[in-house]
Amino acid sequence: MAIPPALRQGDDRIGFVLQLGRSLHVSGYDAHRLEEAMEMASDKLGLRGQFFSTPTSIMSSFGVQDDQQTFLIRVRPGETNLGKLAQVDAVTHDVLEGRKTPSQGLNALARIEAAPPPYGPVLTTLAFGLSSGTVAQFLGGARNEVIAGFTIGMVIGLLSLLAARLPALGRVFAPVAAAIAAAAAAGIAVSGMPISVFTATLAGVIVLIPGLTLTTALTELSSQHLASGTARFMGAVVTLLGIAFGIAVGGKVMSLLVGPAPQLAAVVPLPGWSVPIALVILPLAFMVLLRAEWRDAPWIMMACLLAFFGTRLGARVLGAELGAFVGAFATALGSNWYARITNRPAPITLVPGLLLMVPGSIGIRSLDALVASRGADDVIGGVDSAFKMVLIAISLVSGILIANAVSPRRRLLS
């Protein structure tokens, strides 16, 4: 990525701080931590800066109140890239500790942002399939649901590669992918393979569900970053609506073409020995999808185990909705200690752990019940599921915030 001429002609310190904000934003950093990192970098470099981040822009002002230099950086909401985040963290430490000049740091950050994805299309597509297949197991699916979820996830992975090349498809990727997933699940059921269509569909689109975005939005709102939190929350809601609409359309089209899919009376879950296998496969799939570095694989696996067993323990004591608090607290606490011990950003382990707990699947169940409602019971069930989704998200946010309050955190990019 070329450095903008205006930054080359100005203060390299300002250029570095601006590029730092952009690099963090496109790596999926949330608003309050991004602003904290930019403010800390400015203080360390002898600048007086004020910053305001939203999901689509960063505004920065440098200087005293009556003589400020203001910059606006237009950005798109970035996908989480844990590998680039770790590299940005390392460069930032080098600059702030004097091992690199701001100019060298500016160029290094630009190279990191412009670097290609660390994993190729084959491995990325396989990660889509593996994550969907293992999630089908966690949703109570049997062998057929796992196979169907894996197949649908692979199809969604291939579609995501195409969407990266076609901007028009990328703008409607979530509803189109959801429609294809629903149609594929119905087609598999009609072909004679007995499956729970909804479980297979939900497992297939699980990577698209913005549960993590919803949790981040509530974290920002709790941190009084109201503009960013509100925008991110509404973006998550719109994405959920698009996925629910796509599922409804895909299922309806297949019903008109080949007839209604047969409904299973009951699904017999896989035996208990399948859980440890899923807990090994899913974190590795998350690593590829989140573009984490392989050196962090053991830590990410431990974070996912903390999230899984913490949530299960909490569910037994506090109930399913409030049990997410225990899982989030344990994961955030462990991630903060990971950051202190390894001197690397806490989101490297926190984000994969949270993905095991995010409430997006409940949101899809809620919207599906409302879209396909056939009576008052469906509507009431949909509203009840929506309330549970929000309650779980609040439990996750509370666990993270309390863990941050009681555990030591790295200040920079923590």
Residue 226 in tokens:
């109201």
Mean pLDDT over the full length of the chain = 85
DSSP 268-310: -PPPTTHHHHHHHHHHHHHHHHTT--GGGHHHHHHHHHHHHHH
| pLDDT score of 163 more than 60 | yes
Least confident range of 96-100, 133-137, 255-259, 383-387: 383-387
pLDDT tens digits, one per residue of 340-393: 888 899 999 999 998 887 654 454 555 555 445 444 445 455 556 666 777 777
Distance CA 250, CA 240 (A): 15
Long-range CB contacts for residues 287-290, cutoff 8 Å, separation at least 24: 287/352, 288/119, 288/123, 288/124, 288/126, 288/127, 289/124, 289/127, 289/128, 289/131, 289/207, 290/80, 290/81, 290/82, 290/351, 290/352
The sign of the dihedral angle between the CA atoms of 134, 135, 137, 143 is negative
Q: The whole model's pTM is what? A: 0.86
Round to whole Å and give the CA distance between 153 and 129: 4
Say which range, 8-12, 20-24, 194-198, 258-262, has the weakest mean pLDDT: 8-12
